[in-house]
A = this chain, B = another copy of it.
Amino acid sequence: MHQPVPLEHASRLLNHGPTVLVTSAHGGRRNVMAAAWSMPVEFTPPRIAVVIDKHTFTSELVHASGVFALGLPGPALADLTYTVGSVSGRDLAADGTDKFARFGIETMAGPVLGLPLVAGCSAWLECRLIPEPHAQQAYDTCFAEVVSAQADPRVFAGGRWSLRDDNADLHTLHHLGGGAFAVASRVLQGRVLAGRS
């Protein structure tokens, strides 16, 4: 299931640091990789930063096309997330295939850019790269503007995540390293302290 998320709420999708699936396509080739290193950088216009190693096939496709998409996988996609972060799409492309075919990954087309979005995620963003050659070269950091945002309304609605026992399959993954993921499940509400006068 997916519903549009107003762009002014797009930063909320990444605010808590989920691991994402980065999808890209150019010239008839496409790829998907996992990225643990991303963050919002601005609310309005909605902008993000994501680290994409410049030697990856994804980096090649992103810089050729100027666009990419993000998907936020849940527990059911943990094996897939670890797998696409461990296998190179360039090797598969040389064999005339890709990770989508190899691992049976279903996609839907992004609403603005038409990029492949990984089905079964909790949320998705389409992004237009902001050319920043120095940040890309020095830090592998890609700044981008979010041009579409969607979420599964069972877990994100009204601009807020609602992580409950009955939607545990849609909770976000947070990569600890080595394929171990923390799942954002337990929620607590902070309150503002009065402090000493």
Q: Residues on A close to B: CB < 8 A?
A: 12, 15-19, 36-42, 47, 49, 51, 75, 78-83, 86-87, 101-104, 132, 134-135, 138-141, 143, 159-161, 163, 172, 174-193, 195-196
A125 to B116, CA, bound (A): 38
Task: Look across to chain B and name the residue whose beta carbon is closest to the beta carbon of A176.
Answer: B161
Contact A36 B17 (CB under 8 A): yes
Contact A140 B190 (CB under 8 A): no
Q: Count copies of this chain in the complex.
A: 2
Residues from chain B with a CB closer than 8 A to the CB of A101 are 196
Task: Look across to chain B and name the residue whose beta carbon is closest to the beta carbon of A156.
Answer: B176
Residues from chain B with a CB closer than 8 A to the CB of A160 are 176-178, 180
CB distance from A141 to the nearest CB of B (A): 6
Contact A190 B79 (CB under 8 A): yes
Query: Which of B87, B140, B178 contacts A41 (CB under 8 A)?
Result: B140
Task: Look across to chain B and name the residue whose beta carbon is closest to the beta carbon of A168.
Answer: B186
Task: Look across to chain B and name the residue whose beta carbon is closest to the beta carbon of A159.
Answer: B177
Contact B176 A180 (CB under 8 A): no
A18 to B54, CA, bound (A): 25
Contact A39 B12 (CB under 8 A): no
A121 to B196, CA, bound (A): 22
Given A180-B189, A188-B183, does the pair A196, B103 have CB atoms closer than 8 Å? yes
Given A12-B176, A39-B38, A41-B140, does the pair A185, B185 have CB atoms closer than 8 Å? yes
